[in-house]
C-alpha cells in the first residue's frame, strides 16, 4: 500500500532535485511521479462509493496488492497531466489567448521539470517530439489496461477493473487538450454540468 510516509519521502526527493536544478532522467521521473500524484489513493477511495454488495474486503486487498491494471492507470494520469502542463506552447488560436497566458503563468512558477522536459533534455529532442513520446507511453498504458479487461485475472473482481478504467477515462477527459483540473472554468465545467446538473430527458 502507498503509505503517507513514503509519499512524503518522495516529495522530499523531488524537492531536492528542484533545489539543485537537477533534471531527472525519464526513468527516474516515472519511478517517482506516478506515486506522488497520489492517484492510487483516489482509486482506493473510489471503491468506498460502490455498493457494499459489489465491493468486499477481498476487493480492497486485491487493490492493495497492486494488480497489473493499477500501474498503467496511474501512470497515464501522470503523463496526461505533464502533457497538459506543456500544452501552452501549442495554443495558436487567438481565442485561447487568456487560457494560454494563465497556463504560462503557472508553468513559469513551476520549478520542477515535467516529464516532457526531462525527455527533451535526455534525448535532445523538441517539445513536440517529446510530447509524441508521451502519447506513445499513454498508448502502451491503454494497451495493458485493455488486455487486463479482455482477459481479467481470476483473482481480480471485474468491478475493481471497471473502477480503474473509469478513473483513467476521467483523467483522459480532464487533460485531453489542456489542464482541465487547474483551469476547470473551461470545458471541464461544462462537462461536469452536463453530467450532473443538467436534467437528462429520457423519451
Alpha-carbon distance 107 to 133, whole Å? 20
What pLDDT does residue 196 have? 83
Does the pLDDT at position 177 exceed 80? no
The rounded percent of the chain whose pLDDT value lies above 90 is 15
pLDDT at 146 over 90: yes
Give me the mean pLDDT over the 104-118 stretch.
65
More confident residue, 107 or 69: 69
Residue 89 has pLDDT above 50, yes or no: no
Quick one: average pLDDT of 7-22? 75
- What's the pTM? 0.76
Per-residue pLDDT at 15 = 77
Q: Is the pLDDT of residue 82 over 80?
A: yes
**4-197, CATH topology level:** Farnesyl Diphosphate Synthase (1.10.600)
Q: What is the mean pLDDT of the chain?
A: 77
Q: Is the pLDDT of residue 55 over 90?
A: no
Q: What confidence score (pLDDT) does residue 20 get?
A: 63
Say yes or no to pLDDT of 92 above 50: no
pLDDT recorded at residue 50: 67
Amino acid at each position: 500500500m502507498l503509505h503517507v510516509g513514503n509519499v512524503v519521502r518522495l516529495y522530499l526527493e523531488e524537492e531536492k532535485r528542484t533545489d539543485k536544478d537537477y533534471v531527472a532522467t525519464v526513468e527516474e521521473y516515472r519511478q517517482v511521479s506516478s506515486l506522488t500524484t497520489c492517484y492510487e489513493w483516489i482509486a482506493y477511495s473510489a471503491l468506498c462509493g460502490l455498493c457494499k454488495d459489489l465491493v468486499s474486503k477481498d476487493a480492497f486487498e486485491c487493490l492493495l496488492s497492486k494488480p497489473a491494471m493499477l500501474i498503467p492507470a496511474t501512470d497515464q494520469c501522470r503523463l496526461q497531466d505533464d502533457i497538459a502542463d506543456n500544452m501552452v506552447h501549442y495554443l495558436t488560436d487567438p481565442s485561447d489567448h487568456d487560457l494560454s497566458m494563465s497556463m504560462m503563468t503557472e508553468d513559469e512558477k513551476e520549478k520542477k521539470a515535467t516529464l516532457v522536459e526531462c525527455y527533451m533534455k535526455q534525448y535532445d529532442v523538441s517539445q513536440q517530439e517529446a510530447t509524441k513520446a508521451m502519447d506513445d507511453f499513454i498508448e502502451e498504458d491503454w494497451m495493458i489496461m485493455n488486455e487486463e479487461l479482455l482477459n481479467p485475472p481470476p483473482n481480480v473482481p471485474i468491478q475493481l477493473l471497471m473502477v480503474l478504467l473509469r478513473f483513467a477515462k476521467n483523467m483522459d477527459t480532464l487533460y485531453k487538450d489542456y489542464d482541465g483540473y487547474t483551469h476547470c472554468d473551461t470545458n471541464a465545467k461544462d462537462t461536469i454540468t452536463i453530467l450532473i446538473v443538467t436534467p437528462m430527458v429520457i423519451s
